[in-house]
A and B are shown apart, each in its own frame.
Chain A
């Protein structure tokens, strides 16, 4: 995995600030009005086999709740270094999370998948609620989630 990471010129995250081989990608997550507290969301990338590659964003600041993002937690063992500098606030029901990152071109059309794990206090955990292949053709196409996420879109 290390060689792959360096081949993609990845740092802790899959973002490549200011490099020619990257382009800005906007990730938009709209949440349902599920009637609960703010949702914790982990956005991360795996390869086609589901092997964890790196994290894009963590919505939710308290590490003690990360174990409820169970797929992400299983892959990272909750290592805080994975989300160093890419952590934000949790997202309220019915609200939108919109982040723009410089993603390496090599991530697209190469079989990589973007996952979103979601969890809400006192409600069921929802690991890999969204799993979407990263392709140029898929950009701009909303993908529905199963429980907390109404839809997810990435735009280039």
Chain B
């Protein structure tokens, strides 16, 4: 609900808000500009009477003197029947320049408040301000939810860059956007007479009928400092029934031109004061510095409109559209998905379709948005949970366990957990098991025992569906074919072969970037951007399930490079290693943002073995000289599988790599990479104490050995790999 409240006004009003805020930012500069051009006022005690006398001497036909909030004083006069207007130097009463309202300011003001469309435009602009207000408030609440409460509202942000930028700019500018949008709505209401208007004093019923009291003889003008003046109108020459009209910051009234007496005076009412204050807050007229700050903050809105639309496109692409998703409060079945890359959403869509066809009303949502208080009609909750890394929550399930701790409402609804994973990994379905255990401990009734799906097996899913059908009394036929991401034909440009003499063939394969037209890229069908450490999914012939390889290159390199070794009986690695330059495979990119060097200047320690060198070489290639980067690399034999041997020398020479330490297992030294680490323990401990980040890539056995070695190395420093992992200073990519 909150997200929808943020998303839809944002998308609809994005263009409108961009126009309003950009024009507002331009206008915000004008009060300061006007102030800078106004003659400096050097007499602090100058009264309206003195000023008016000085002006009358220079311009005997003066009709009116006005003071703008910037301090600029303008006189309107008639000279021989010709109207004139000048900016006055208050010290002399002489004109310094002809007063000509700025056409640019008028044009910009009309764009800003009415889009040149009169009252319809004013209402449209007000709708834009309303949308901005709703967006600011809902965005604030979303931010509070994201960082875990209002107390943490300025906490450090985590997550993908685009989302971080969006929230970072929002936190800096939301105060200004709130102020500007609220005052804008008030001003529109005032324009349409929805705010009580103050009525000035009625014209006096009786005047003295005499003339001759110059401004210098009028007591009220002698008491009023110029600082308080708004405008002073002179009586028509030769009309004894006319009067002086004075408006100041505190009110307005009429003064007799014969006696100088104050005939009528009325103080500004509270509504008028409020209206004037709001006008000042919105325009910065009278508070130029505030105007500049608000103008600067207004620039945040176009930025957030841009990043917001990008975020929306990214999110809508990340998961399949669920047709006929029932609202949480009406559904009898709640389907919650914990997915990292998006494939589990496909299973959820299939299950949703089958249950809906069987007459159930089903609500599908991310596990991260678990909200049991809304499940008022739910008879069952089904969790489809993938596992990320070694048993941690996948992206769309972040925070689920914490919510489970605090929300007791859901524990009455029977629960089924289905885990998705890969049996090749030690923590198969680790997260799903964790969730099932937590639910059991909380006394959540079990709808059916926890089940698992290995490597997206359609057969296992169909079997689980039949079991679920028996439990709920409606036969279910789940036929799911995993959604294959949009892939592109990748053409091999070059290959470098290794390891043939050790009966362990491997190669560095370099593919050309697939070409996509501008239109395809705009529609999001281009290949997309990628960085070293991201994954290249390859779809081998004869299997719909992609295999993933770590990329050793980024978009900037203009090619795709991976390091592949042949697995005994491996379908995909076999096809890749049989590929000759000019041949092609189908592939796509999957982001792996957790595995890349942090954005700072701290040292980096890269540890890898075998083809695990791939992403590490990519990091080194993308490194800027000046950031210390140390590589520890394990291979079999320098003559056989020392991948990137030439580049490693070059990168050391141009300081992209600070040091390279190798360990060879098939030479007389018989060393593993963890042996090289232990041999270098003091330096590694020092680097990590200085804040270094450790990135490990390679086989799982090697990673375990490295973790063990590092644990020993870090004992003197009082650190552990687990502590570093919690700070994202120890990240692994293992296979």
Residues from chain A with a CB closer than 8 A to the CB of B199 are 77-78
B81 to chain A: which residues have CB within 8 Å?
146
* Residues 111-129 of A contacting B (Cβ, < 8 Å): 122-126
Is there contact, CB below 8 Å, between A37 and B110?
A: yes
Query: Are the CB atoms of B101 and A122 closer together than 8 Å?
Result: yes
Annotate A30-44 by CB proximity to B: 1 below 8 A, 0 otherwise.
Answer: 000001110000000
CA of A27 to CA of B106, assembled, Å: 30
If over half of B's interface residues share one DSSP class (helix, strand or loop), that class is named, otherwise mixed; here it is: mixed
Asked if residues A122 and B106 are in contact (CB atoms below 8 Å), the reply is yes
Question: Which chain A residue lies CB-closest to B82?
Answer: A146
Asked whether A63 lies within 8 Å of B64 as measured between CB atoms, the reply is no
Nearest opposing residue in chain A for B84, CB measure: A124
Chain B interface residue count, CB cutoff 8 Å, equals 22
Are the C-beta atoms of A64 and B83 separated by less than 8 Å? no
Least CB distance from B466 to A in Å reads: 72
Contact A147 to B83, CB < 8 A, known contacts A74-B203, A124-B63: yes
Residues of A within 8 A of B63 (CB): 124
The reply to whether B193 and A36 contact each other, CB–CB distance below 8 Å, is no
Q: Is there a chain A Cβ closer than 8 Å to B651's Cβ?
A: no
B665 interface contact, C-beta 8 A: no
Q: How far is the CB of A135 from chain B (nearest CB, A)?
A: 23
What 6 additional pairs, Cβ within 8 angstroms, besides A122-B101, A124-B83, A147-B83?
A35-B101, A37-B106, A37-B110, A64-B197, A122-B106, A124-B63
Q: Given that A64-B190, A64-B191, A74-B203 are known contacts, is A36 also in contact with B197, CB under 8 Å in the complex?
A: no
Q: Decide if B193 touches A64 in the complex (CB within 8 Å).
A: yes
Chain A residue numbers with a CB within 8 Å of B110 are 37
Check: B76 CB closer than 8 A to any chain A CB: yes
Q: B76 to chain A: which residues have CB within 8 Å?
A: 124
Name the CB-closest residue of B to A65. B191
Among B85, B106, B190, B199, max chain A CB count under 10 A is at B106
Which has the most chain A C-beta neighbours within 10 Å: B64, B101, B193, B200?
Answer: B101
Q: What mask results when residues 68 to 92 of chain A are scored 1 for a CB within 8 Å of chain B, else 0?
A: 0010001001100000000000000
Q: Are A77 and B202 in contact (CB under 8 A)?
A: yes
Q: A62 an interface residue at 8 Å Cβ cutoff? A: yes
Q: How far is the CB of A69 from chain B (nearest CB, A)?
A: 13
Q: Are B103 and A35 in contact (CB under 8 A)?
A: yes
Q: Can you give 12 contacting A-B residue pairs, CB < 8 Å?
A: A36-B101, A37-B106, A37-B110, A61-B119, A62-B191, A64-B190, A64-B197, A67-B200, A70-B233, A77-B199, A78-B199, A124-B85
> Roughly how many angstroms separate A154 CA and B190 CA in the complex, as a whole number?
36
Instruction: Give per-residue flags for B157-185: 1 if the beta carbon is below 8 A from chain A beta carbons, else 0.
Output: 00000000000000000000000000000
Residues in A neighbouring B200, C-beta threshold 8 A: 67
User: Which residues from A are CB-within-8-Å of B191?
Assistant: 62, 64
**Do B64 and A124 touch (CB < 8 A)?**
yes
Q: What is the interface of chain A, defined by CB distance below 8 A to chain B?
A: 35-37, 61-64, 67, 70, 74, 77-78, 122-126, 146-147
Find chain B residues with CB under 8 A from A74 CB. Answer: 203
Residues of A within 8 A of B193 (CB): 62-64
Smallest distance from the beta carbon of A123 to chain B beta carbons, Å? 6
When distances are taken between beta carbons in the complex, the residues of chain B under 8 Å from A63 are 193, 197
Q: For A64, what are the chain B residues with a Cβ–Cβ distance below 8 Å?
A: 190-191, 193, 197
Docked pose: A147 CA to B82 CA in angstroms: 8
List CB contacts (< 8 Å) of B81-109 with chain A.
81, 83, 85, 101, 103, 106
B contacts, CB < 8 Å to A: 63-64, 76, 81, 83, 85, 101, 103, 106, 110, 119, 190-193, 197, 199-200, 202-203, 233, 245
How many A-B pairs have beta carbons closer than 8 Å: the answer is: 37
Bound together, the chains give a CA A77 to CA B193 distance in angstroms of 17
Bound Cα distance from A67 to B198, whole angstroms = 11
Closest residue of chain B to A121 (Cβ to Cβ) is B106
Q: Which residues of B contact A125 (CB under 8 A)?
A: 64
* A36 and B106 contacting across the interface, CB-CB below 8 Å: yes
Which residues from B are CB-within-8-Å of A37? 106, 110
State in angstroms the CA–CA spacing of A132 and B245 once bound together.
26
Contacts of A124 in B (CB 8 A): 63-64, 76, 83, 85
Chain B residues near A70 (CB-CB < 8 A): 233, 245
With both chains docked as a complex, state the minimum distance between the C-beta of B114 and any C-beta of chain A, in angstroms. Answer: 10
* A36 CA to B233 CA, complexed, in Å: 22
Shortest C-beta distance, A66 to chain B (Å), equals 10
Question: Is the pair B101, A146 in contact by a Cβ cutoff of 8 Å?
Answer: no
The docked-state distance in angstroms from the alpha carbon of A63 to that of B191 is 9
Would you call A146 and B83 a contact (CB within 8 A)?
yes
Chain B's closest residue to A124 (CB) is B76
Residues on B with C-beta less than 8 A from A35 are 101, 103
CB nearest to B254 among chain A residues: A74
List chain A residues, Cβ under 8 A from B103: 35
Specify which chain A residues have a CB less than 8 angstroms from the CB of B101 in the assembled complex: 35-36, 122-123
- Bound form: Cα–Cα A74–B199 in Å: 12
Query: Given the complex of chains A and B, what is the CA–CA distance between A147 and B78 in angstroms?
Result: 11
Residues of B within 8 A of A123 (CB): 101
Nearest CB of B to A72, in Å: 12
Residues in chain A near residue B106, CB distance under 8 A: 36-37, 122
Give A74 to B201 CA distance when docked, in angstroms: 10
- A78 proximity list for chain B (CB < 8 A): 199
Residues in B with CB closer than 8 Å to A126 are 83
A contact residues around B64 at 8 Å (CB): 124-125
CA distance A29 to B406 in the complex (A): 74
Complex Cα gap A62–B118 (Å): 12
Shortest CB–CB separation between residue B247 and chain A, in angstroms? 10
Which B residues are CB-close (under 8 A) to A122?
Answer: 101, 106
Which 3 A-B pairs give the minimum distances between C-beta atoms? A124-B76, A74-B203, A147-B83
Chain A contacts for B202, CB-based, 8 A: 77
Q: Give A36 to B85 CA distance when docked, in angstroms.
A: 15
Hey, which chain B residues are within 8 Å of A146, CB to CB? 81, 83
A123 and B100 alpha carbons, distance in the complex (Å): 9
Least CB distance, B109 to chain A, in whole angstroms: 9
Rounded to whole angstroms, the CA-CA distance of A126 and B85 in the bound complex is: 13
Please, which residues of chain B bring their CB within 8 A of the CB of A77? 199, 202-203
Q: Which residue of A lies closest to B101 (CB)?
A: A122
**Cβ–Cβ < 8 Å partners of B245 in chain A:** 70
A68 to chain B, nearest CB (A): 11
Contacts of A61 in B (CB 8 A): 119
**Minimum C-beta distance from B691 to chain A (A):** 58
- Tell me how far the C-beta of B73 lies from the nearest C-beta in chain A, rounded to whole angstroms: 14
In whole angstroms, how far apart are the Cα atoms of A124 and B203 in the complex?
A: 20
How close is A70's CB to chain B, nearest CB, in angstroms?
8
A147 contacts which chain B residues (CB < 8 A)? 83
User: CA–CA, A147 to B83, complex, Å?
Assistant: 7
* CA distance in complex: A35, B85 (Å): 14
**Cα–Cα, bound, A50→B353 (Å):** 83
CA distance A35 to B106 in the complex (A): 9
B83, B119, B191, B192 — most chain A CB neighbours (10 Å): B83
Chain B nearest CB: distance from A146 CB in Å? 6
